[in-house]
Amino acid sequence: MDKKALMDKIFAKGKQYGLNDMEIYHGKDNSFRVKIFKGEIDNYSVSSSEGLSLRGDYNDQMGYSYTSMLDESSVDMLAKNAKENAQVLTNEDREVIFEGSKEYKLKETYSDKLDRVSEKEKIEFAKEMESKAYEYDKRIELVPYCSYGDGSDEVTIKNTKGLELSSRSNLAYCYVSVTAAQGNDRKSGTVYRCSDDFYTFNPGEIAKEACDNAIALLGGQGSGD
């Protein structure tokens, strides 16, 4: 069902249940992640996700409901639950629906450049990050976790006071965890980076930092020793 039509139906149903001011928060996201283990793609995941939550004022209390089933079958459930939840609230602070500001400053939170990075480049990056870690020092025994991921999301807020806004953003991240061993001593080091520019990630530099973190801990004594 068309998103706008669905929102209008939910507001209409809410009115029938006696809800006064109402607001819908709609979120949609996509994600990609690849995990490398010993040079192979250990795990590859993609997702598309969508959900909607309703909040509505009933007798000066704000009830909430939500669903990830965006079709006609959810309309009644959302309105009914929002009303029932408002009925059990005894909150003395009144929560109100905001009609919105007069103006909004535009902020750039979406990188089209990130969208253009190919899946092949992402996988090669993660593989290189792992191989650089193994090559860095013979004490690096294992790279148990090496991954690259990115995601984008889009949020729309619409209420019965006339506010209707949306925004979108995207981000990429990488994570590497290494285990260094010396005799019976094993220590781990990790590095996590995130950016909206894939090309700022340097696989060799990130791997080096994780390895240095682990190696620096070898031979350390626990407190109380």
Q: Please give the Cα distance from 217 to 223 (Å, whole number).
A: 13
- Token couple for 31: 């994600």
Q: Please give the Cα distance from 217 to 212 (Å, whole number).
A: 9
Length of the chain as a residue count = 225
CA-closest candidate to residue 165, choices 27, 12, 58:
27
Residues 27-66 that bind another protein (CB under 8 A): 37, 40-51, 53, 63-66
Nearest distance from C-beta of residue 67 to another protein, angstroms: 5
69 or 96, CB closer to another protein? 69
Stretch that binds another protein, among 82-90, 109-117, 130-138, 205-213 (CB under 8 A): 82-90
Largest alpha-carbon pair distance within the chain? 72
Residue 159 class from Cβ within 10 Å (0-12 exposed, 13-18 middle, 19+ buried)?
Answer: buried
| Out of 79, 81, 122, 174, the residue judged to bind another protein by CB under 8 A | 81
Q: Please give the Cα distance from 223 to 221 (Å, whole number).
A: 6
137 binds another protein (CB under 8 A): no
192 binds another protein (CB under 8 A): no
Q: Please give the Cα distance from 145 to 149 (Å, whole number).
A: 13
| Out of 87, 109, 166, 182, the residue judged to bind another protein by CB under 8 A | 87
Nearest distance from C-beta of residue 90 to another protein, angstroms: 5
Q: How far is CA 122 from the centre of its chain?
A: 18
96 binds another protein (CB under 8 A): no
| Out of 69, 96, 194, 216, the residue judged to bind another protein by CB under 8 A | 69
| Out of 2, 71, 103, 112, the residue judged to bind another protein by CB under 8 A | 71
**For binding to another protein (CB under 8 A), which residues are involved?**
37, 40-51, 53, 63-71, 74, 77-78, 81, 84-93, 142, 144, 177, 179, 186-188, 222-224
